Structure 1
Amino acid sequence: MGKTPGQKAARVKGFKMSESEILRKIAVIFVTDVVGFSTLMAQNEELTLRSFRSCKEILDNLFEEHSGRIFNTAGDSVLAEFPSAVSAVICAVEFQKLIKARNASVPNAAQMQFRIGLNMGDVIIEGTNLYGDGVNVAARLEALSQAGGVCLSKSIHDFVSQKVDLGFQDIGAQQVKNTNVHAFDVSIGGLAPRQIAPTPPAIEPVEAGAPPSIAVLPFKNMSTDAEQEYFADGVTEDIISHLALWKTFPVVSRNSSFSVKGLSLTASEISDKLNARYLVEGSIRKAGNKVRISASLTDALKDRTIWSERWDRPLDDIFEVQDEISIAVARAIDPEIRRQSRENTELSKPESLTAWDLYLQALQKYHRRDAPEGILSLCDQAIQASVNFLDPYLLKCKVLLRERFKPHNRERRAELSAQIFEIASYVVGKEASNAGALAMMASYYFQLNDLDNARHYAHEAFGINPNNSAATRALSLTEAYAGNIELAYDYFLKTQALDPSEWREWPQFEVSLLMVLGRMNEALDKITRAVENDPENNLLLGFKVAALGNLDRLADAQQGLEAFLQLRPDVTSLADYAPLLPDFVVEAVLQGMQKAGLKQ
């Protein structure tokens, strides 16, 4: 994973938390112990200790190789932290393989087996030791692991599954010592895949003030071929997975949703059974090489359909169609529920507003570009009402990021960047796979001109949720500064499709990309409209002058340059102007400004 500065300790300010002075960080935790150690000690204490020291030496060497750090031991238990989830998984698998090889070369009495648990999460720093949920969950996973196996949390699996050449078995939601965790086994040669019944999903009452829950009901197979049921179920499961990526709305689990399959229940009855206000329903009709998929979104409380769509597709690649439709449904539903919820919030009395209502009001003010103080105040109220509701934290980051780019906040940029880092770090600590928070971490490092770490976090965010507009925006920026202009423009267009407001604060970015790509007429058209909307913005005017110069419209360019220099009397030469420009567009802009008449 490269550098992981997001794992640095951060003091979280601005939140009403009793442990506001406690140092925290995100860490990858490795926990292991010997299977049946007490029994082995009782049988032959001296031999057991010699064997353990031999195995511990193997582990120490691997820790040194993969940058692991032991922070605690207790008898046969070893607890370590890693800077990288990938390194921790590789180290764990190599250790089990080396222990297996050692066992094959020693007498039975000297053989040992280990269990390993891996987790990534929020931990508390106390000197050289670590405590907290991140450590506790790793210990629970270690207890769940097979002898000779590696058991890891979903947060680890989601980061490493596409980066290592290993197989994983999803063993589902498990409850170990009162801790619920979604666990995965690493497939290791010699270990048979195990079948563990997932802990039955508890359908709990929805917390007051929480965002409304959504259930994706099994899509109906309308084909004459009953064997096509797998396709309908696959689309349903994919929609559940894609919706869950947004993190805002609680999505009823697959097991719970499929529990109503085949039952004749009304929308209201299903809503009550699953504790879900919104229901996604659909049907699939497959005939020959074509498929028709219909989907709808129902507000069960009001018993009315608020959105529906239909797709007709050729089945050249059944899995590609499945992905396309499931992503399309998830994309459409997320904003539709937000819009519907905002309408409901506008009808609420102020004294009855919940965390969700307060967040929606803040979001509306953000999109209207209201004063930041009011938006931040509503976010803080939402946080106070429900500290575990993470969207208000991310909205605060967006507000602070917007403020950071405003010229009058030039002197406050370091302060605003620090606040963004603290909030984003807090959210990542609470939920390591939150794409929005990882995208904000990318923005933070981008502001520090740390391109390597900015790209790292941008790609992590995109890998978790490729339809998160903050993630695609971060990728567009970082790829542009890395010199990958065509790729940056692709991500720009994807962001524009997901949320056009992401670029409203920086219209010259698209213009910069178009200029470097040689699409000068399009660049001039875009920047002309931007200048019309903000005629006193000298930065925009400078880009317009450059575009005119590059198109050899010299009379217009010279006239624009005169206006620009009146707004920026400190710029008297190309050398003065160059430091004000993004690195990747310097050459194209200076070429146009030189044609317009700006001196060397």
Structure 2
Amino acid sequence: MTESRATRRLAAVLAADIVGYSRHMGRDELATRSRFNALMDSVIRPAVARFGGRIVKLLGDGLLVEFASVVDAVDCATAWQHEVARSNAADTDVPQLVFRIGVNLGDVIVEGDDIHGDGVNVASRLESLADPGGIVLSRAARDQVRDKIDIPLDDLGEIEVKNIARPVRAFKIGHNREPAPVARRRWPLAAAAAVLLAVALVWLQPWIRLSEARAIAAMELPLPSKPSVAVMPFRNQAGEPGELAADVIARDVTDSLSLVSGLFVISSSSTFSYKESTATPQQVSRELGVRNIVQGTVRGTGGDFRVAVEIVDGVNGATIWREEFQQSGSDSFKLKEDISHSIARILAQNIARSSAPGRSTFSDEAYTLWYRASREIGKAPSKSGFSFAKALAESALAIDPEFGRALAVLAYIDTQNGYFGFVDDRQGAMRKGLEKARNAVRLAPDDWYVHEMLGFSLMNVRAYEDAVAAFDVAIGLAPSSDSTLIRSALPLLFLGRPDEAEARLLTAMRINPLYDWAPVNFLAMAYYEQGRFPEAVEKFDEAARLNPGFIGNMVWRAAAHAQVGNQETAERIAARLLEKAPGWTISSNFVQIRDPAMQALLDDGLRKAGLPE
């Protein structure tokens, strides 16, 4: 049997780290990230490019860089440290970021654009030994540069490196070493080309800004005023066990970020439509109207996952940040928290509220069962679908009897079974569901999901004021949850408050630009109640194209067409309604609006459409 072999190569690896990064972030996150980004643009990226290196990934507070030559890596490290020191001295009002750097020559394992293995581990260990502003080399790296660069070295002796059998000898570069001139070991033509490139970049800056402005202008939706982000479905490279894990991580990171004040987060309902797509970050940015695109890859075996995550600027295609996370044991919650917090920090926002969403169980298995159940109840209502979701939720509760979200799913199923007549005792099922929803809130009072399910259960028993209050709690906890905003619009419409419903629906449709029929139909209802009949007709027709069999749409759509004088169309829709629901009458209409004037407006349209009293 042939065994697959990992791709390996010999590489010069540079690992860099910011000294006291946590202290800087504690003082001023925004200023620290701004300063780091400025150094990346003015010092680090130009130095890496100048000496032929490749930035493998950003590590939150540092970088990993690969070179083909140790000489190039050391020259880059020296120039890097001198230029950062000069920049700090020139502007003492900004955070004084200082780097430690380690350089090693060693064997690395290659996975796509990423590298890891002993060669990387040694470089990272060497970096931790460096003085602030200093550089430490391994013996393998020292041997490569000893006769090529005039470099003072201090022997630090042998050091232990985790998972490396033998100690590694380390050497510190003296602080008096000046950066090497770039022209050394470079062809004159290459040096001239570098100068021309620098001049060209200066000349091209206005064009680059113009290019970005054009890209923003070409967006199908306007960029929000605050930092905006879309978390794409994570790629699975961990076989079958990783498929569900990749989906859960991406959706939960989206939910976590939606709790962060100051961020605009696109709903996973939209981003997961790209799951099988090859769309570029720029294309996704243009279609969803956001600047930052989060991408991830899940690797590993047997449930031990490594997740590589990056943020790409969707306007110019540049990678802003890249980092790898390791799942610790079976605690996937910690993994998702780490990813979410890191993304929030990179986008320089307040992360005080970005704890893991709905962490009302500490069982990965129970959480995965709830996740599958929640996906199932999100499909078109059916007796078999609800039965399957119920079995999943009950299995989750058998593992953790205090898991609020699992109980909330059971509450939703009971109320929906009663509402759609999938059980004989409809009122009893809805009452039972409402009781479960209230118990779920008692189990998890800080979880937006259980409050949303309570709101839905209250709405089904027509306790509209209480439903609005429950939805308001959920929105306060998760302002970027499009499902909560959409569902909360319904009790507002039944209370005759269309202006509030319209505002929530428009917000939801911006968060989820690839929305389905529901917000379109509810928005049409708001327009009807406001007396905006032509706009209502347009939206009801759009909703009918998306979900042609929905009876609720037929009721309102017939009335709307009648109000604008489309009598033939209104009567045709009314006939189809009576065909789908024999015996339907205006007096038995399940749509009952508390505002008498708005109910009268609906009834008037239904009569004009020729529907029976």
TM-score range, shorter chain: 0.3 to 0.5
Q: TM-score, normalised by structure 2?
A: 0.40
Which protein is bigger by CA-based radius of gyration?
A: 2
